Amino acid sequence: MEFSEKDVQEAQVFGEFYIDKMENHRNTLQYYLCENVVLDWFGKTVKGDKTVSAFLKKTLASVNHIMTDAVPVKKIGFRDTHVVNVPKEPKFIPMGLMTPPRICHQKMLFKTPKKQNGASTSSLFQPKENNKEKGQGDGIHNLLDVETSPVKKFKASNGDPVVSNLELVESECDLVMPQVKYVLMDGAIEFHKPSSKKLQSETKWKRPSKLSVAYSKTNCEYTIYLIIYEGNVKCRRNLLKEFEEEEPEN
């Protein structure tokens, strides 16, 4: 399966997002995990967003990802537990963790409304006279009554009246099921731990690994469904058979 340049670039962007989230922002990781997310940590299976988040917070506290750029792949997984289940309803993400919301415009044809002779109601704020509230020991408060202009009505192309509602929240626009995509990163996982030696503050070692992730992207944010960490080096027992086959006969 061939991928376009856009797919490759999108995979790289997600890979950078994933590593940055895992190493620097693990406290907000749970909001980007699907409720039934599955994690395979070198053969150990962990399920559920809360459980996976708690496991990664503890495990990745002393881990660095040394990976190549993420590349898109057709599919991932090699165990029965490597299943992607997309929930019917999107997960709620607090507004403080989301990227600034964009305005979604409805694709509707409106006729230009006729100019009215009366006063315009386009102003959003119409301040009234300031009222004074009796103080409660903290001074006088100035109250400002705010009025918003009424919702304007337009006519669609067929002549039926339609209420204008051009600005929608992103979650209202994302009514379609998200498309699950897969990425693969190759490299190593670097582990750190305090050293018992006086002249060495910590001990670190690298484990050659592959990282596979199933995710989707909406106008709001990423959602992660499956994470697989696996070693990419065969043990000596598995290599022995291949070595014997390659050994020339005398």
Run means of pLDDT, 10 residues per run, the chain, 250 residues: 90 96 92 94 94 93 92 90 76 51 43 55 51 52 50 53 44 63 95 73 86 89 94 62 50
pLDDT at 210: 95
Q: What burial letters (b/e) apply to 164-173, b meaning 16+ CB within 10 Å?
A: eeeeeebbeb
Instruction: Output phi, psi for 16, to 5 deg.
Output: -65, -40
**Which residue is listed with tokens 């992730």?**
213
* pLDDT reported for residue 107: 43
Confidence (pTM): 0.61
- Residue with structure tokens 């291949």? 242
Q: Where are the domains of the chain?
A: 5-100+175-246, 105-166
> How crowded is residue 133: how many other Cβ atoms within 10 Å of its Cβ?
10
pLDDT at position 244: 52
Residue 217 forms beta bridges with which residues?
Answer: 222
Name the fold adopted by 5-100+175-246: Nuclear Transport Factor 2; Chain: A, (3.10.450)
What's the pLDDT score for residue 250? 47
